[in-house]
């Protein structure tokens, strides 16, 4: 009997009981994890905007959902920073009730289609899946989240969350990245007037400028933002809190609370010789120019440096985004230069695999020590120190140690430095009374509250660099606690 026939037959039965009667645990564990469809590597490197992962079919989603064992203690939920009701939405997919699955997701996350694409589920929810103890692959929670969210959008079945009666109070949000959007969505549900101030001309923060469309299409982000607008959230672009308007201005405008989710947009560099040469730039600048300013197009008003030999320094997801973008912009030799081994790379395994499929070269256990120029002052070569691994350091990863007398020189026309970012100092410096950490982050307590009673913060401005889902979790936590605080404040 086909899956759809089974589902149709049991629609009028209590669903948990029906599912248990239909499939035994043995039946479920015998199913292999589905493989998401992907574009061919040689085709996909010709496009900056066509999404590589193509999503699950309905049949694949039904099959993968059937693998879920509906554990009495769903440990997968312990790994989710926004507390998605994972077993519930998966079982709704298994029943064929995709609308309810999407609705369940919306109860706890404002960006399910985004999270289903870019969150590191393998290190969070899926890392807690009981299948791993059986030496089997975890249930594809991320694939199923993406499927449910996409299905609802494609079938015009996205339901606006229930909005509480107006509190008569308004709150301001600095930054329209994942932390700010998550906070804004939850505060709107609580009945607040919410206005998000974005410094750039596009809403979405790092979701727009930092993640390429071939991994996270803009139309997906825009659809999530449109729902927030329908919920009453307002957006003001080209507005820099701390410069265009001040903290005091916000008070004068009647805002009862402020959430700072301005991210970490200040790139880190290695401070080695030649790092100021023409053709050496940060991944932040490179991706922003390509993703937000159309620098990849011919005759662009904001072009970006191109080259036949492009090196990206670093091993995180942003480094993978940068090197795969360079490949799409015509680089013949696109290289990842990373001082540790591949096993220590912080990037998602999927991104590493996709990069390799697309022809990216991995120079692991190499560290740049100098860049040299041609006669025009443009970077032409990089000198790399070969490394080997010692004992684990404070990060838990084995420490890279220079190998004596092992230097390699490689021709390169573009170098993209992707070794992390620091918080933009504008907000910390503009609002007196905030406690600032040694790395320029805003210090908050476990509730996301700063030393100023009406100011909360979350995301990279607090963490110094983290994932989309952790930033969203910070936004949710701050919204819950600011609502509690403002509910006790008169006026």
Q: How far apart are CA 323 and CA 318, in angstroms?
A: 9
pLDDT for 153: 96
Summarised one tens digit per residue, pLDDT across range 435-487 is 999 989 999 999 999 999 999 999 999 998 888 999 999 999 999 999 999 99
**Is the pLDDT score of 18 beyond 70?**
no
77 close to 83: Cβ distance less than 8 angstroms: yes
> Does pLDDT of 6 surpass 50?
no
Angle at Cα 73 formed by Cα 68 and Cα 78, nearest 5°? 90
pLDDT at 13 over 60: no
Beta bridge partners of 382: 371, 410
Give me 296's structure tokens: 């990849």
pLDDT band at 4 (very low <50, low <70, confident <90, very high): very low
Q: Rounded to the nearest 5 degrees, what angle is found at the Cα of 430, between the Cα atoms of 429 and 435?
A: 55
Q: Residue 201 has which token pair?
A: 């001309």
The full 3-state SS of 293-339, as one line of letters, equals HCCCCCCCCCCCCCCCEEEEECCCHHHHHHHHHHHHCCCCEEEEEEC
d(CA 478, CA 178): 13
User: How many angstroms from the chain centroid is the CA of residue 319?
Assistant: 14
Q: Identify which of 297, 310, 294, 434 has the alpha carbon closest to the alpha carbon of residue 363.
A: 310
Closest residue by Cα to residue 186 from 201, 198, 171, 206: 171
Q: At 201, phi and psi to the nearest 5?
A: -85, -10
State the Cα–Cα distance between residues 301 and 294, nearest whole angstrom. Answer: 8
Give residue 17's pLDDT: 54
pLDDT at residue 194 greater than cutoff 80 = yes
Q: According to the model, what pLDDT value does residue 491 have?
A: 61
What distance in Å separates the CA atoms of residue 214 and residue 212, rounded to the nearest whole number?
Answer: 5
**Confidence band, pLDDT 50/70/90 cuts, at residue 142:** very high
Whole-number pLDDT of residue 2: 46
Could you give phi then psi for residue 226, rounded to 5 degrees? -60, -40
Residue pLDDT, tens place only, 420-443: 999 888 888 899 999 999 989 999
Place of tokens 């220079």: 402
DSSP symbols for 338-372: ESS-GGG--S-HHHHHHHHHTT-EEEESEEEEEEE
The radius of gyration of the chain's CA atoms, rounded to the nearest angstrom, is: 24
**Over residues 361-378, mean pLDDT:** 97
Please, which pLDDT band fits residue 490 given cuts at 50, 70 and 90? low
Alpha-carbon span 98 to 157, nearest angstrom: 9
At 159, the pLDDT band (50, 70, 90 cuts) reads confident
Q: How far is CA 66 from the centre of its chain?
A: 27
Contact 113, 149 (CB under 8 A): yes
CB 209 within 8 Å of CB 292: yes
Tokens 């505060």: give the residue. Answer: 187
Residue 10, pLDDT > 90, answer no
Whether residue 318 is predicted with pLDDT greater than 70 in this model: the reply is yes
Residue (of 287, 233, 241) closest to 260 by Cα position: 241
- Cross-strand partners of 426: none
Q: Which residue has the tokens 């329209």?
A: 176
Residue 255 sits at the vertex; the CA angle it makes with 250 and 261, to the nearest 5 degrees, is 75
Rounded to an integer, the average pLDDT of 301-322 is 94
- State the residue for tokens 């404040």: 489
Q: Quick one: how many helices (H) and strands (E) in the chain?
A: 19, 15
Cα distance between residue 237 and residue 199, in whole Å: 6
Residue 220: pLDDT above 90? yes
For the chain, what percent of residues have pLDDT higher than 70?
95
How far lies 423's CA from each of 264, 329, 374, 420, in Å? 4, 29, 34, 10
DSSP code string of 194-248: EEEE-SSSSTTTHHHHTS-TTTS-HHHHHHHHHHHHHTT-EEE-S--BTTTB-HH
Examine the pLDDT at 9 and tell me if it is beyond 70: no
Tokens read off for 440: 């320029």
Instruction: Give the range among 35-39, 101-105, 301-305, 352-356 with minimum mean pLDDT.
Output: 301-305
Q: What is the mean pLDDT of residues 218-231?
A: 95
Any idea what DSSP says for residue 251? H
Question: What mean pLDDT, rounded, does the chain reach?
Answer: 92
> Mean pLDDT, to the nearest integer, of 150-158?
95
CA 465, CA 394: separation in Å to the nearest integer? 17
Contact yes or no for 75/129 (Cβ under 8 A): yes
DSSP-derived pairing of the beta strands 234-236 and 193-197: parallel
């Amino acid at each position: 009997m086909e899956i759809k026939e089974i589902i149709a037959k049991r629609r009028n039965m209590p669903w948990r009981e029906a599912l248990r009667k239909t499939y035994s645990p043995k039946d479920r564990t015998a199913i292999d994890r589905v493989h998401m469809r992907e574009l061919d590597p040689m085709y996909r490197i010709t496009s900056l905007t066509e999404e590589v992962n193509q999503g699950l079919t309905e049949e694949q989603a039904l099959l993968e959902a059937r693998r879920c064992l509906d554990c009495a203690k769903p440990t997968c939920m312990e790994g989710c920073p926004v507390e998605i009701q994972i077993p519930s939405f998966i079982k709704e997919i298994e029943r064929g009730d995709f609308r309810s699955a999407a609705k369940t997701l919306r109860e706890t996350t404002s960006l399910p289609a985004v999270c289903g694409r870019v969150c590191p589920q393998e290190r969070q929810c899926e890392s807690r899946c009981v299948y791993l103890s059986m030496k089997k692959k975890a249930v594809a929670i991320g694939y199923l989240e993406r499927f449910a969210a996409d299905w609802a959008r494609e079938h015009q079945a996205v339901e606006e969350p229930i909005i509480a009666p107006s509190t008569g109070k308004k709150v301001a949000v600095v930054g329209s990245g994942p932390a700010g959007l998550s906070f804004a969505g939850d505060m709107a549900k609580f009945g607040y007037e919410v206005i998000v101030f974005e410094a750039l001309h596009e809403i979405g923060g790092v979701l727009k400028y930092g993640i390429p469309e071939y991994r996270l299409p803009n139309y997906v982000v825009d659809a999530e933002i449109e729902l927030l607008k329908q919920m009453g959230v307002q957006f003001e672009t080209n507005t820099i809190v701390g410069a265009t308007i001040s903290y005091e201005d916000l008070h004068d405008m009647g805002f009862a609370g402020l959430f700072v989710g301005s991210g970490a947009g200040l790139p880190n560099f290695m401070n080695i010789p030649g790092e100021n040469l023409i053709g050496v730039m940060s991944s932040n600048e490179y991706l922003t120019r390509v993703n937000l300013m159309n620098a990849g197009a011919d005759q662009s008003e904001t072009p970006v440096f191109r080259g036949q030999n492009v090196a990206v320094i670093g091993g995180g997801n942003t480094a993978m985004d940068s090197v795969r973008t360079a490949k799409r912009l015509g680089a013949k030799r696109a290289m990842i230069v990373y001082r540790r081994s591949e096993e220590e790379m912080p990037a998602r395994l999927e991104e590493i695999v996709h990069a390799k499929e697309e022809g990216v070269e991995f120079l692991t256990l190499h560290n740049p020590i100098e860049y040299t120029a041609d006669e025009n002052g443009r970077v032409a070569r990089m000198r790399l120190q070969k490394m080997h691994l010692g004992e684990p350091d404070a990060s838990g990863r084995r420490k890279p140690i220079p190998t004596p007398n092992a230097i390699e020189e490689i021709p390169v026309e573009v170098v993209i430095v992707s070794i992390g970012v620091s918080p933009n100092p504008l907000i910390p410096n503009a609002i007196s009374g905030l406690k600032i950490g040694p790395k320029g982050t805003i210090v908050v307590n476990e509730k996301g509250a700063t030393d100023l009673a009406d100011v909360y913060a979350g995301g990279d401005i607090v963490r110094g660099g983290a994932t989309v889902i952790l930033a969203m979790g910070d936004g949710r936590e701050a919204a819950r606690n600011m609502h509690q605080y403002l509910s006790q404040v008169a006026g």
